[in-house]
């Protein structure tokens, strides 16, 4: 993965970050990315008791080569020590482990500088009640396995996270929810925290109420100076063998995000705070059972495997959007949708979509086709003839079918043939019967039954 941080890209990110403020073109040009980064407590924090700890910060990754990193132990954090930096990165450290003086120094720095907070599963749930913009977090814990995650992107994408591959801030949603760390072991800011704007919204089995694994705010909201970014994407993902690694890319996006060190002239000191906005959800989904390949009729079950979060439901719809079936989870992670094929045209391959919804919004969609046939074979010719001591049954059907003729005194004797569409066939039966039953079954199992007689 290569992230090229150039003036054009920085300007694009600057506009995306501050587009809601209505700032002048001159003020946008004054915004700057990170350059000198103080990492507290260091590149490889010691693990907390009972945890595995976090991997070393990937400072040597090529995508981070534009930044100068320096380690700053927690007990050396002072206003003077921070003066030589434009960015502070709290890496895998609990806020409560910083002294009151260190917390105050970081809060003062945050008014005009950039503060990045990277929590990890080993930091656990936290309270940042004394941070410049207070918040609290929930923690998933160290699961190290799939945790039935689902993500959504506010406004469909932003300067820190987008599901659009053409967007510079693209984060592959599939990697986010399938990697054993990123969202499966995430920490998340409490939903609706005042003064913060979500950049990514997520839920998993451990945090079913959901939260904000990515969020941001200004240092001084009224001036739009400074920039604070919270990341609960589990820092363990830095060590995952992924190409590209979207946890590393997220860190690069945060460092590249421009911020102002002086008040925004167009609105200070009355600039508006960030405001929360809904986003398009993303959920994992796949067909849990093979789809029928042959012709089907009546009611057909379609089973989807999806994320286990509140508000999951599913539908099957036509290409035009007409809903044929809907259902909610009866078993965790599975949706069974019964498609009434009688609502579709027979003798056609119907293009359909299976949709997974989160709180009523479509989060995943899979296209498929059902070959529908709900019409039984039609007899174009069905006639009985006695000739030369034999009873003949002449038959022509509208479609290819398997035909069985039941005859004899007990009605158990049979003759079976495959009859092509519109092909004339003749069954030669003993001349000692008076009647027979004809049953024709087509490709989908539709059945035609007729009783015939000889006189």
pLDDT(155) > 90: no
Rounded CA gap, 410 and 133, in Å? 88
pLDDT category of residue 291 using cuts at 50, 70 and 90: very high
Residue 277: predicted pLDDT: 59
Residue 308: predicted pLDDT: 79
Q: What is the mean pLDDT of residues 131-151?
A: 88
pLDDT(10) > 50: no
Residue 144: predicted pLDDT: 67
Q: Which residues pair with 225 in a beta bridge?
A: 220
Residue 190: predicted pLDDT: 96
pLDDT tens digit string along 250-275? 999 999 999 999 999 889 999 988 76
Residue 433: predicted pLDDT: 86
Taking all residues of the chain, what is their mean pLDDT, rounded to a whole number?
A: 89
Rounded CA gap, 131 and 122, in Å? 20
pLDDT(85) > 50: yes
pLDDT > 70: percent of the chain: 92
C-alpha R_g of the chain: 33
pLDDT tens digit string along 104-125? 999 999 999 999 999 998 899 9
**Token representation of residue 440:** 């024709």
Rounded CA gap, 39 and 88, in Å? 6
State the CATH class of domain 379-453. mainly beta
CATH topology of domain 7-283: Rossmann fold (3.40.50)
pLDDT category of residue 63 using cuts at 50, 70 and 90: very high
pLDDT(14) > 70: no
Residues 318/323/328/334 CA torsion (nearest 10 deg): -10
pLDDT tens digit string along 411-428? 888 999 999 999 999 999
Q: What is the mean pLDDT of residues 74-90?
A: 97
- H/E stretch holding 8: helix 7-18
DSSP class of residue 64 equals G
**Is the pTM above the cut of 0.85?**
no
Residue keyed to tokens 């945790």? 147
| Contact call for residues 368 and 392 (beta carbons, < 8 A) | no
Rounded CA gap, 340 and 338, in Å? 6
The DSSP annotation for 98-116 comes to S-HHHHHHHHHHHTTSEEE
Residue 388: predicted pLDDT: 79
pLDDT tens digit string along 179-221? 989 999 999 999 999 999 999 999 888 998 899 999 999 999 9
pLDDT(40) > 60: yes
Least confident of 146-160, 231-245, 327-341: 146-160
pLDDT category of residue 278 using cuts at 50, 70 and 90: low
Q: Where do the domains of the chain lie? A: 7-283, 285-372, 379-453
Residue 176: predicted pLDDT: 93
Q: What is the C-alpha end-to-end distance of the chain, expressed in Å?
A: 85
Specify the CATH architecture of the domain 285-372: Sandwich (2.60)
Higher-confidence position of 131 and 152: 131
- 3-state DSSP helix/strand/coil % of the chain, to nearest 5: 15, 35, 45
Q: Which residues of 169-193 are buried (b: 16+ CB within 10 A; e: fewer)?
A: bbbebebbbebbbbbbbbbbbbbeb
Rounded CA gap, 452 and 236, in Å? 76
- Same topology, domains 285-372 and 379-453? Answer is yes
Residue 19: predicted pLDDT: 42
């Amino acid at each position: 993965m290569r992230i090229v941080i150039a003036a054009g890209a920085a300007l694009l990110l600057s506009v995306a970050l501050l587009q809601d403020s209505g700032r002048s073109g001159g003020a946008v040009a004054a915004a700057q990315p990170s350059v000198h980064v103080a990492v507290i407590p260091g590149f490889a924090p010691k693990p907390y008791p009972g945890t595995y700890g976090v991997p070393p910060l990937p400072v040597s990754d090529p995508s981070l080569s534009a930044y100068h990193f320096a380690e700053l132990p927690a007990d050396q954090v002072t206003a003077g020590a921070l003066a030589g930096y434009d960015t502070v990165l709290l890496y895998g450290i609990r806020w409560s482990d910083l002294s009151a003086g260190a917390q105050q120094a970081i809060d003062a720095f945050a008014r005009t500088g950039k503060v990045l907070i990277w929590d990890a599963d080993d930091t656990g749930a936290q309270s940042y009640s004394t941070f410049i913009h207070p918040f609290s977090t929930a923690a998933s814990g160290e699961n190290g396995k799939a945790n039935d995650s689902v993500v959504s992107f506010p406004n469909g994408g932003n300067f820190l996270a987008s599901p659009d591959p053409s967007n510079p801030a693209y984060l592959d949603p599939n990697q986010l929810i399938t990697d054993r760390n990123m969202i499966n072991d995430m920490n998340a800011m409490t939903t609706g925290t005042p003064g913060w704007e979500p950049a990514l919204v997520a839920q998993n089995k451990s945090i079913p109420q959901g939260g904000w694994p990515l969020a941001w705010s200004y240092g001084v909201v009224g001036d739009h100076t400074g920039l604070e970014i919270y990341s609960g994407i589990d820092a363990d993902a830095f060590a995952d063998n992924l190409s590209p690694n979207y946890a590393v890319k997220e860190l690069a996006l945060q460092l590249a995000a421009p911020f102002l060190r002086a008040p925004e002239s167009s609105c200070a000191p009355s600039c508006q705070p960030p405001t929360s906005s809904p986003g398009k959800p993303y959920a994992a989904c796949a067909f849990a059972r093979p789809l029928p390949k042959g012709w089907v009729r009546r009611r057909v079950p379609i089973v989807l495997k999806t994320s286990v979060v509140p508000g999951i439901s599913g539908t099957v719809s036509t290409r035009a959007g007409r809903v044929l079936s809907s259902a909610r989870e009866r078993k965790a992670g599975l949706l069974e949708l019964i498609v009434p094929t009688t609502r579709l045209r027979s003798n056609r391959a119907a293009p359909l979509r299976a949709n997974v919804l989160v709180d009523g919004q479509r989060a995943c969609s899979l296209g498929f086709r059902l070959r529908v046939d709900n019409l039984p074979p039609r007899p174009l010719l069905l006639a009985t003839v006695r000739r030369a001591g034999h009873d003949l049954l002449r038959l022509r059907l509208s479609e290819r079918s398997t035909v069985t003729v039941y005859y004899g005194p007990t009605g158990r004797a049979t003759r079976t043939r495959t009859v092509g569409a519109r092909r004339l066939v003749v069954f030669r039966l003993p001349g000692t019967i008076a009647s027979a039953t004809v049953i024709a079954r087509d490709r989908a199992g539709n059945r035609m039954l007729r009783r015939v007689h000889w006189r």
